A = this chain, B = another copy of it.
C-alpha cells in the first residue's frame, strides 16, 4: 500500500490533522492515527469497559481536566493511578496549585519550600493545607468505617469533597472506581500512615482485587489506555489475566524496551502472559504523554461527536 504525504491546511481541526497522519500511516504519525482510531472505537463501543492507567505526573502536568472530563462524560470506566496523582488532585481541591517558570537550583528550591517535578513546581504551604484538610477527612472517614479496601477509601474521599474539577470527586459521583495499589507510596500515603499511628483505619490492599476481578469477569470486552509504566500499567494488564487478557490497549510512553522494564515493554509482550488476548488490538505511541494524550483525546472526541 502506498504512502500518501500529509497535507496541512491552516485552521484544520485536530482530527483532520490526525487523519492526515493516517494517510501517511507510518512511523509515529501512523501510530498516532491508529491509537486515536482505537480510542474512539473503544469509547464508543458500549460493550467495552475502558480502563485508564495513569503513571507519571499527569495531574501536575496539566492533564487533570482532560482526565476529569473523560470520566464525567462516561468515556472511562475504571481508573488506575499512583498515590501521587491522587495527592496532586487533592492539593488543588484544597486550594493549592502547581507552578511554573522558576529557575532556582534544587537546593535553593528546597530552602524556598518548593518541590520540583521537571519544570513543574509545588509549594510547601499548599502541602501544609493539604495535610490539615486530609487529616480532618481521614477522621471523618475512619469514624464511618475503619476497615476499607483502597478503592473504597478513595471513593470515600471523593464523596467527602465538593470539587467538580477533581478527578477523585468526579469519579465518585460517576461511580467510576479508582484503584491505586501503591497508594501508600505518596504524600497521601504518608498522611495515612501518620493518622494510623494514633487512630484505627485499616486499608485492605488485596480487597481491591475482588472488585476488580468482578469488573473484568462482567465485562464483554476490556480496553486499557496506559499513560506511562509502573504499577498502573501492570495492574491494569494483570487484572485481565483472569479472562485471558484485554481486547485492546493503547500505551503512550518515552520508556524503551531493551533493559526489560515493564514501562518500556511492547504491548505485544502482554500476549505471551495472557494479559492481552491473541488478536487483540494494540497500539503504542512513543512520546511525551502531555503532548500525545491531549492530541489523541481531541481527535477521538471529535470523531465521537460526528
Contact = CB atoms under 8 A, between A and B. Distances in A.
Nearest to A182: B182
Contact of A261 (B204, B228, B256): B228
Interface stretch (A129-137, A154-162, A169-177, A285-293): A285-293
B261 A294 contact: no
B263 A302 contact: no
A286 B256 contact: yes
Given A14-B17, A98-B2, A28 B259 contact: yes
Size bin of chain A's contact surface: 35 or more
Interface string A234-276: 1100100100000000000011111111111100111111100
A256 B266 CA distance: 14
Contacts of A186: 238
A65 B206 contact: no
Nearest to A112: B272
Contact of A290 (B184, B208, B259, B278): B259
Q: Which of A114, A117, A256, A298 has the most CB of B within 10 A?
A: A298
A148 interface: no
Nearest to A195: B206
The 4 closest A-B pairs by CB, nearest first: A24-B62, A28-B288, A5-B65, A118-B260
